[in-house]
Amino acid sequence: MKNFHLNRILNLKTVEAYFLRDGYLISPKYCLVLIDYKRPSTINDFPHLKDIEGISADEFGNDNFIKAVIISAEEIDQETHDELYTAAAGFLEDKQDCRWNFVIEVVPDFSNKNNLNDIFPLLQSILKTHNLSLNIEDIPEEKFNFLSQE
């Protein structure tokens, strides 16, 4: 299994984002975005499970729902998918009464997004795509000297 070097680039109450690198001081290969919706999960959060016999919409009433989004410049193979899933699971698998899911967004231009000025418009777009209305582009630059940008 691959070990990724993680560099946290954003830490808010509802969103965290990390560059995932193959090594120290290497351009990021992926970006992991964790979105905390702070609401109960529903079957609509898991469209691939809808209409499967034996799965009831009532089973999805957990107290919270979090989505892990991986941004990649290219399509990935199953082995890489599993490694990235494991990286996200390290943050999310032990949360009690919380459901989470995992998606990969292929953004060909991501390979050119290796600094905060370049990544923030892309992160803003990803948040909008995944129905989180939060403006991260107006965070003052000096806030990035702290562990949290809030």
Q: Is 80 inside any structural domain?
A: yes
Q: Which amino acid is at 110?
A: F
Q: How many folded domains does the chain comprise? A: 1
| HEC sequence for 24-82 | CCCCCCEEEEEEECCCCCCHHHCHHHCCCCCCCHHHHCCCEEEEEEEEECCCCCHHHHH
Q: Is 99 inside any structural domain?
A: yes
Q: Is 96 inside any structural domain?
A: yes
pTM of the model: 0.90
Domain hosting residue 24, numbered range: 5-145
Structural tokens at position 77: 């193979």
Q: Is 103 inside any structural domain?
A: yes
Q: Is 150 inside any structural domain?
A: no
Chain length of the chain: 150
Tell me the pLDDT tens digit for each residue of 79-116.
Answer: 999 999 999 999 998 888 888 999 999 999 998 887 87
CA-to-CA distance for 123 and 135, rounded, in angstroms?
10
Question: Can you give the pLDDT at residue 111?
Answer: 86
